[in-house]
Structure 1
């Protein structure tokens, strides 16, 4: 998912203006575009090694670096979950997406707590949304606390101006390249209908992208044919709008009134209407507000009564989060959930408004995880490790590329090692059982499943690194430049009456 932490801080301005003649304006745009890509070369983009820091001293982690690591680790869980579901046969999928003992199926991968490492993709997406709500609101909330309404208006205006470009530029670029490669080389992809010619494929791609990128449609827009994993990006943009408008609406409220309004939004989205994703964003905003108040020792008096129990509260929150994060997801219906051992009584907690029952429990799981992590030292340190920080840096690109790699290279490798699928026998028979491997081992950790990742994981991480350099990082810089260019260098001293 996008690295929202960088986008939460306003960039320095320059004196670029658009009040120039047509030729000068075009030259200015071209020059600034090139400037936004400075330091980018084919060598750097395609180098297999992460960029080295220019400083001789190790880079100091910022206070919220653990959120980068948490987002990166969550992106890896999405990668792993999708591969588990793609490789295994239907009866195994039921076991992976259900609780331990469902319909007499007893697998290690389905055990409580353990199942998050095999089935954690849904949990990860919920965590993405809470983190986004947290980091998108970080700078505006600090300005609200400071009472700086003019800078708040500037910050929210800049953020809203840049957000669509930040999210959709990498999507447009990567799906176009994937579409072109699939058509140019005649690559068969399961579920992807071949087109008569390239122009037809390009037109269909354009028609899908333009509809996909418009979040205010009145009908249902289908998933992208060239990357259906990206269903969460329009949801991300909708949640961003919720954050920006809510912060503006609550900016003049008193502290307690603002907190009540934020909590009321969470309750409305989760219990009154089926707006689980908005509840996740709003909860991230509420958590950030509370954390900033706690740092200044300005929390409402209500929280004082919990201070003596902090050492017990946060580990308990983490344990609840990990258990609820393994909510069975085989069916959306609450009656199906009740058939899963350990979830019968919990199923009665689901509000009437929520259609897909898993998102109610994943809401609480993700909120409790994000809230408890900074207060559990060993967990925070884990997400601050170089491995998790690296995953956090490439998390959005990893989310973008892991599907295309899975559907092209992965599908063929799984066919080669002996995973059965009718479509493979029909369309890529030359790959089927080319290098059969034994399927011995626990479900989800079979030899025939793990060995292909000796190729798939490095390839996916490499392509994620390339996409980060080529599209993700420029998609942060270019909207910043565009906003600076489209607005005057002087800032308003106060809000208009």
Structure 2
């Protein structure tokens, strides 16, 4: 029976939160084994949201450098820059590296389980299907959200400080198409595409996600016939190559996720190499320390690529000597270890795993991709105006948003990053962002999975049946 348009429209815009927190209020079935990964991804997406709002709001005051430098750097001592604390104010880069490690883990789960079971033909089918569907899965939501965002500039006459509007919608449409077609080809040479800078800064990570996916699928194919120990050594060798030989930090993160998946599946089957048995007696203490190390390394200073900045940062001088020669932007090296330690620790620390399996983190996990895609446009359209109204003003606002300047002035007293003038707008911004993320999840994210699967199934050759006639 076809769904009525009015019913479909209501279901699209009805907040999931009204349904007992995203349908998670009453659990009719137990959580899947890797539910903690969904919760971790969702929480990481929220960190990205919070980080970008902090930087955008505080850019006019020149305080963004405080968020992205170590506590005590240049004799500046702020609560938001304290080790571990800084993760909750400027943990966006940390969160993105966690995304990449999680992706390596999730993409490997089904193929590796089949490889370990010796079902190589099924593993090959699984990898082929996943690779066919991956581009569509990643790029359909990007296409949909950026198209609507750039169209709204012209349909509703919306100005944003994060982009330069063309003279009319048709010119904008051509620019959007021309930039997207280059952006969509991840093996291009020369300059990077301008697409993220024009239509959504934050989608810079999507081509990286696709390239990392190809690395994982290729490694799965290449190592599928290897025995257990040689396969683990091959995975470790690729991680070493990406991190210490070539500047392929993102490849190391995806391979780290694959390695963690391999180890977890072997542990479930009680087939871990003997080496791991030496850590069994103090496993929880080991991973507690790795978790603490992850939180510290996740706060690596990121205001500059110059290694001298790290050398002069309190608490980082000795750690700066660990940076490999191959890595250009040093933060990714330290964030690799931070993300690896975090994803390895969560399932082995029951209290931490329970947190990420909680209802709100699971809700965030469901909408995490859409939240990542929409939080920027909402920040630049609505957030920019609300921050202008509460006292965070840019020079461009004097010409473009004069009526918004100090329309509702609120005190900036209190710790940096926790000022009432910053927090109050989120009474509106956070619910609106979550709501629109839910809509995008239902409108683009979930359908992209179905469309990719449908196209793959339509493209399959018919299976031949054996002739049983004599």
For normalisation by structure 2, the TM-score amounts to 0.94
- Deviation by residue 1:163-202 (Cα, 9 ceiling, x = unmatched): 0000000100110011111112221111411211110000
**Conserved? CA contact 1:262–1:286, under 8 Å:** yes
Residue number in structure 2 paired with 1:343: 316
In terms of mean alpha carbon deviation, does 120-129 or 210-219 score higher? 210-219
Residue number in structure 1 paired with 2:37: 67
Deviation at 1:420, TM superposition (A): 2.5
Residue number in structure 1 paired with 2:70: 99
In terms of mean alpha carbon deviation, does 48-57 or 69-78 score higher? 48-57
Deviation at 1:59, TM superposition (A): 3.2
Deviation at 1:56, TM superposition (A): 8.0
In terms of mean alpha carbon deviation, does 130-139 or 146-155 score higher? 146-155
- In 2, distance between residues paired with 1:370 and 1:482? 33
Q: 2:14 aligns with which of 34, 47, 50?
A: 47
For normalisation by structure 1, the TM-score amounts to 0.89
The 3-state SS of whatever aligns with 2:30 is coil
**Conserved? CA contact 2:111–2:123, under 8 Å:** yes
Deviation at 1:483, TM superposition (A): 0.8
The 3-state SS of whatever aligns with 1:396 is helix
Q: 2:46 aligns with which of 46, 57, 76?
A: 76
Residue number in structure 1 paired with 2:457: 484
**Conserved? CA contact 2:24–2:359, under 8 Å:** no
Matches within 5 A, 1:17-416: 41-50=8-17, 58-89=28-59, 91-221=62-192, 222-224=194-196, 225-416=198-389
Q: Give unpaired runs (5+ residues) of structure 2.
A: none
- In 2, distance between residues paired with 1:389 and 1:336? 38
**Conserved? CA contact 1:53–1:59, under 8 Å:** no
In terms of mean alpha carbon deviation, does 334-343 or 89-98 score higher? 89-98
Q: Give unpaired runs (5+ residues) of structure 1.
A: 1-30
Residue number in structure 2 paired with 1:25: none
- In 2, distance between residues paired with 1:368 and 1:181? 42
**Conserved? CA contact 1:40–1:469, under 8 Å:** no
**Are 1:462 and 2:435 matched, yes or no?**
yes
In terms of mean alpha carbon deviation, does 50-59 or 202-211 score higher? 50-59
- In 2, distance between residues paired with 1:369 and 1:229? 23
In terms of mean alpha carbon deviation, does 83-92 or 288-297 score higher? 83-92
In terms of mean alpha carbon deviation, does 472-481 or 39-48 score higher? 39-48
- Deviation by residue 1:25-84 (Cα, 9 ceiling, x = unmatched): xxxxxx9xx99x999811111112346759986232001000000000000000000000
**Conserved? CA contact 2:16–2:23, under 8 Å:** no
**Are 1:419 and 2:392 matched, yes or no?**
yes
Task: Give aligned pairs, total.
Answer: 460
